[in-house]
């Protein structure tokens, strides 16, 4: 199945004592409902590798669910998925401690717009929002990213794949592009160390585009009953 777009949902359980129960609800109720007919073909749940400390300032979420879309109209399919979420809440089937703090809709972008299928071998992701800080040079930056930056980053040996995505619809300001790194090392921390060393070499060699800017970046490991393989839409009919 080819993934044409992503619905990336940022969430948390607001009652720490209920997180195990919330976790079971996510796996047993939420994913099957959203991955029903017409919804995403697969959904994979992740948690931050470094969890925010209770009561302290933080990023605002602890978990990320990546819903993979397969329709040609990813905006419509994502909207339908969120409609299902609304219906679930109206029916009283959303866990009381569940909070969604944000959701992004993205479509596959450029020659690296193909994402490997989720599998038990997936160790995690580095999810990076990026942008060109000079809109007039975005085409130049975009070509550099595909032609030079992706091969450079893959050379570190920490990633089995990199895939690129564009926000839909585009935001007037801020990041409109997301890169998803598929971690292939034993741990996400190892992948971070390797990629950081490679990025330092890129900068030292003058191969970093002068307009390239990183935005929100999080490191993720698979979580829940389905792990890196995710929950598939076909499972809803099983």
The pLDDT, as a whole number, for residue 237 is 55
> Pairing relation of β-strands 177-183 and 125-132?
antiparallel
DSSP-derived letter for residue 217 is E
C-beta separation of 65 from 226 below 8 A:
no
Query: Residue 238: pLDDT above 60?
Result: no
Domain count, the chain: 1
Q: Rounded to two decimals, what is the model's pTM? A: 0.96
Range with the poorest average pLDDT among 51-65, 76-90, 129-143, 148-162: 51-65
The percent helix, strand, coil of the chain (3-state, each to 5) is 35, 30, 35
**Residue reference for tokens 């409609």:** 83
pLDDT in tens, 111-147: 999 999 999 999 999 999 999 999 999 999 999 999 9
C-beta separation of 110 from 10 below 8 A:
no
Average pLDDT over residues 54-58: 75
The 10 Å Cβ neighbour count of residue 28 is 13
Domain residue limits at 125: 5-237
Query: Residue 65: pLDDT above 80?
Result: yes
CATH number at residue 118: 3.30.70.100
């Amino acid at each position: 199945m080819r993934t044409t777009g992503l619905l990336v949902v940022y969430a948390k359980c607001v009652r720490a004592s209920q997180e195990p129960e919330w976790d079971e609800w996510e796996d047993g109720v939420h994913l099957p409902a959203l991955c029903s007919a017409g919804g995403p073909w697969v959904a994979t749940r992740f948690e931050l590798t470094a969890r925010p400390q209770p009561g302290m300032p933080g990023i605002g979420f602890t978990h990320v669910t990546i819903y993979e879309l397969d329709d040609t109209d990813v905006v419509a399919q994502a909207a339908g998925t969120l409609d299902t979420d609304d219906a679930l809440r109206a029916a009283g089937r959303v866990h009381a401690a569940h909070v969604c703090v944000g959701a992004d809709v993205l479509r596959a972008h450029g020659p690296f717009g193909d994402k490997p299928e989720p599998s038990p071998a997936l160790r995690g992701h580095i999810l990076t929002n990026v942008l060109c800080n000079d809109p007039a040079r975005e085409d130049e930056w975009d070509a550099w990213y595909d032609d030079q930056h992706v091969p450079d980053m893959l050379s570190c040996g920490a990633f089995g794949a990199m895939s690129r995505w564009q926000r839909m619809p585009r935001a007037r300001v801020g990041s409109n592009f997301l890169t998803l790194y598929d971690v292939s090392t034993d741990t996400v921390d190892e992948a971070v160390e390797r990629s950081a060393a490679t990025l330092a070499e890129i900068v030292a060699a003058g191969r970093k585009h002068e307009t390239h800017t990183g935005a929100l970046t999080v490191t993720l490991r698979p979580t829940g009953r389905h792990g890196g393989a995710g929950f598939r839409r076909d499972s809803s009919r099983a």
